[in-house]
Amino acid sequence: MAVPKVMIAGCGDIGTRLAVRLKALSWDVTGIRRDPARLPQGLPGLQADFNEAACPSQWPSEPVDYLVYAVAADQHDEAGYRRAYVQGLEHVLGWLGERQQVPRRLLFISSSSVYGQTEGEWVDETSPTVPTGYAGQVMLEAEKLAASTPVPATVVRLTGIYGPGRERLLNQARQGYRASGQAPQYGNRIHADDAAGLMAHLLEQDWTGAVLGDCYLGVDDDPAPLHEVLDWLRQRMGVTAPCLEAPLRRTGSKRCSNAAARATGWAPRFPTYREGYAALLGAEAT
């Protein structure tokens, strides 16, 4: 029986979680990053710089079934985003072309920043994408690049990822931060394990012949207002420090639906922030 060959470009936190899941299914997985030595033991790696147009000498000559582009920008400004998500994708697609490889599918990991809604509206994969910031604008440009190639592409728009090492909100709650309940700011979240699980599920679906859509939102079941989440976290941790207004990094407010992802048979292990953060806090206590 054939074993799918997967190249994960940008094998950081989420990419590595995906790689571990696929290895457990006996898939042939290679993680691509600048420093493959940082990959878990036993996970094959390939050293590459996505800023370079030249194809890495170690790039495989045999067919590639799936390319997952899960790069994270290492510089958080428009130039850094453009290098990571547009130019980097152009280069990796060029490497495929140089080797005359046409994978079954490209899985491009994008962001819900492509939406510009600010009034708590529900959004799904068909909602207007009119981002106001450079992050969403560049991501949308990269999505269009992914869709323009000869390789069938599926975009996964992940929402606010949390999990081990991604604990900004937990730290704010520990410091006693709160948010206003007036005109609540809705946020969308997905645990890192669920983000990787959704990606693995979509690849499995494609490999078994299921028809995938062009786009899926990666989000849990419960978009919740920030004040509710902070209040719950403070109560859960027994924080009695004086309350401070939370420094908000985003001005958007929307509620993302995971109905399309769930329709494929996927379900989040952590359906709401309560289960996800409870697991994090439990791990800290052990």
Which tens digits make up the pLDDT trace of 90-136? Answer: 999 999 999 999 999 999 999 999 999 999 999 999 999 999 899 99
Q: What is the pLDDT of residue 1?
A: 64
User: How many whole angstroms separate alpha carbon 230 and alpha carbon 76?
Assistant: 25
| 259-272 confidence digits (pLDDT tens) | 999 999 999 999 99
Domain extents for the chain? 5-163+190-220+254-269
Q: What is the pLDDT of residue 251?
A: 61
Rounded to the nearest 5 percent, the helix, strand and coil shares of the chain are 35, 20, 45
Residue, of 181 and 254, whose pLDDT is higher: 254
- pTM as predicted: 0.95
Q: What is the pLDDT of residue 193?
A: 98
Q: Tell me what the mean pLDDT of segment 236-246 comes to.
A: 84
| 201-226 confidence digits (pLDDT tens) | 999 999 999 999 999 999 999 999 99
* Residue 95 burial class via C-beta count within 10 angstroms: exposed 0-12, middle 13-18, buried 19 and up: buried
CA-wise closest residue to 44 among 85, 8, 91, 1 = 8
Yes or no: say if 96 and 151 are a contact pair by the CB < 8 Å rule: yes
Q: Tell me what the mean pLDDT of segment 219-236 comes to.
A: 95
User: How many whole angstroms separate alpha carbon 33 and alpha carbon 9?
Assistant: 7
Q: Tell me what the mean pLDDT of segment 248-260 comes to.
A: 83
Q: Tell me what the mean pLDDT of segment 143-167 comes to.
A: 96
DSSP secondary structure letter of residue 133: S
User: How many whole angstroms separate alpha carbon 275 and alpha carbon 262?
Assistant: 18
Percent of the chain whose predicted confidence (pLDDT) is above 70: 97
User: How many whole angstroms separate alpha carbon 235 and alpha carbon 22?
Assistant: 38
CATH of 5-163+190-220+254-269, one of 3.40.50.720, 3.40.50.800, 3.30.200.20, 3.40.190.10: 3.40.50.720
Residue 285: band (very low, low, confident or very high) from pLDDT cuts 50, 70, 90: low
Predicted confidence (pLDDT) at residue 286 exceeds the cutoff of 60 = no
